Structure 1
Amino acid sequence: MSRSERLFDLLQVLRRYRQPVSGQRLAEETGVSLRTLYRDIASLQAQGAHIEGEPGLGYVLKPGFLLPPMMFSEEEVEALVLGSRWVAKRGDSRLAIAAADALAKIASVLPPDMRESLDASPLLVGPRAPIAEGFDLALLRKAIRSERKLDISYVDNEGSESRRTVWPFALGFFEQVRVLVAWCELRQDFRHFRTDRIHGALVRDQRYPRRRQALIKNWRAAQQAAPG
């Protein structure tokens, strides 16, 4: 295990405790000697971690410390690379650009050896067939983030078109389709709308009356209760 990974593990252990925990306990959980543990705590404190305590009294990590990107483990770097590559292939064009930009920012602060691992990651995402969209999905994501009502023109399986006012709260990315998850005012229930069948969308200034988190929670409960 590299030193950066060891320091990362120590931080993760400290985050689990609300009250001071002894150095001996921390050493046992991280698999190092007590002397190494004290050195690692001093290193983290020098990097800005708000670790309070001393030998014999225990240590506690105060809230608010942000883990530097250079502390990512190798598997976490691989997860970030794979995730960004998936978004680049499966997300809309703006998300693809955002994923590439985010990965570049992370790479800029990684140590040279980890940056090389990031660039040469063997985890790949296969190609997919193009997905036709009638409009920019960024519009849907904006409506979801701002919790705004959305007017859409939707064509169902039989080819019938209807106008709906919906409360959008999630967007699913699948291999062949993207699906908007929303509360439908017309049906007074949760509905799933394939984005390739939405032929027009307008974000209203009006916020919907429930919070997005509550809608997601109720939708998940409804999915679990559904037969089959």
Structure 2
Amino acid sequence: MRRADRLFQLVQLIRGRRLSTAAWLAGRLEVSLRTLYRDVADLQAQGVPIEGEAGVGYRLGAGYELPPLMFSTDEAKALVAAVRMAGPRMDSALVAQAENALSKILAVLPSAARAAAEAQVLFVPAVGPDAATLGRLAVLRQAAESRHLLRLLYRDEGGAPSERKVRPLGCFFWGAVWTLGAWCELRQDFRSFRLDRIVDAERLDDRFRDDAGRTLADFLRHSERSGWAAARATGPRPSA
């Protein structure tokens, strides 16, 4: 890597995190700590407002802007592959935004790089959740983002129906099915609901807050304790 490219990447790495240690930066750039310290000092001498010091960490001063990024051919190919892989598994609103973003990126690439990216040899057949499931995914995802409570009509594995009011925390894809991770007001506990077993989902007007013990972070910790490692190997085990 040319030194100019390394310095540019160094600024990008520092800008992308609240605080970056010298060891972490050196590891990402595959250089020695001595080289990293010299690069930081050179950037500071050129007027780049890098704050911090060796042994503590570095961050970029507020208000500093870089020129628009240019993606490499390999980076553009990776983005094309990622959008192709995710498309059949996401709701239509997310697919449209991903394709719009990709079009903007490809439009500003040099012609050779754009042609190479568009000729990506990884293809993904349109096999994924059915349209009804993806439609529910959009409702659940948006409710989780806006922190709106949901009323669910759900059928368990045996077909028994139940109505739940839940706090939607996140949607999880397991390679075969989507699940909704939520706090269930009925059970007063975390639950996972398979989207293909949700008969109806209604977003309520009420919103929820991050109450202690009922947050996404709490759900993830609860799921780890409950055996997500086994679920990853054998498939999802949603609860009701």
TM surpasses 0.5: yes
Residues 97 and 225 of structure 1, relative CA distance in 2, 3 Å threshold = same
Is 1:121 aligned to residue 108 of structure 2?
Answer: no
Distance 1:142 1:108 in 2: 29
For residues 192 and 146 of structure 2, the distance between their equivalents in structure 1, rounded to whole angstroms, comes to: 19
Gaps of at least 5 residues in structure 2 are 23-31, 51-57, 231-240
| Equivalent pairs, count | 206
Partner Cα distance (2:59, 2:89) in 1: 42
Q: Residues 137 and 220 from structure 1, CA distance in 2 versus in 1: closer, same or farther, beyond 3 angstroms?
A: closer
Q: TM-score, normalised by structure 1?
A: 0.72
**Secondary structure of the structure 1 residue equivalent to 2:167:** strand
Partner of 1:51, secondary structure, is coil
CA distance in 1, matches of 2:33, 2:151: 55
Matched with 2:132 is 133
Q: Deviations along 1:134-189, whole A, 9 cap, x unmatched? A: 64422112111110100010000110001000000101123321111110011111
Name the CA distance, whole Å, in 2 between partners of 1:212 and 1:75.
43
Query: What is the match of residue 86 of structure 2?
Result: 87
- Taking the TM superposition and a 5 Å limit, the aligned residue runs for 1:19-168 are 28-29=35-36, 51-52=48-49, 61-65=60-64, 70-131=69-130, 133=132, 135-168=135-168
User: 1:170 aligns to what SS in structure 2?
Assistant: strand
CA distance in structure 2 between the partners assigned to 1:212 and 1:178 by the alignment: 26
Residue 100 to residue 9, structure 1, CA distance change in 2 (3 Å): same
Q: Sequence identity of aligned pairs in percent?
A: 38
Q: Partner letter of residue 176 of structure 1?
A: A
Give CA-to-partner distance per residue, 1:175-217, whole Å, 9 cap, x none: 3211111100111111111111111111111012326996111
Give the superposed CA RMSD: 3.7
Q: TM-score, normalised by structure 2?
A: 0.69
Residue 9 of structure 1 pairs with residue 12 of structure 2: no
Counterpart amino acid of 2:94? L
Looking at structure 2, the residues matched to 87 and 12 of structure 1 have their Cα atoms a distance apart, in angstroms, of 26
Partner of 1:22: none
Q: Cα–Cα, structure 1 residues 66 and 187, in superposed 2: closer, same or farther, change >3 Å?
A: farther
Rate the CA distance shift 1:13–1:206 in 2: closer, same or farther, 3 A: closer
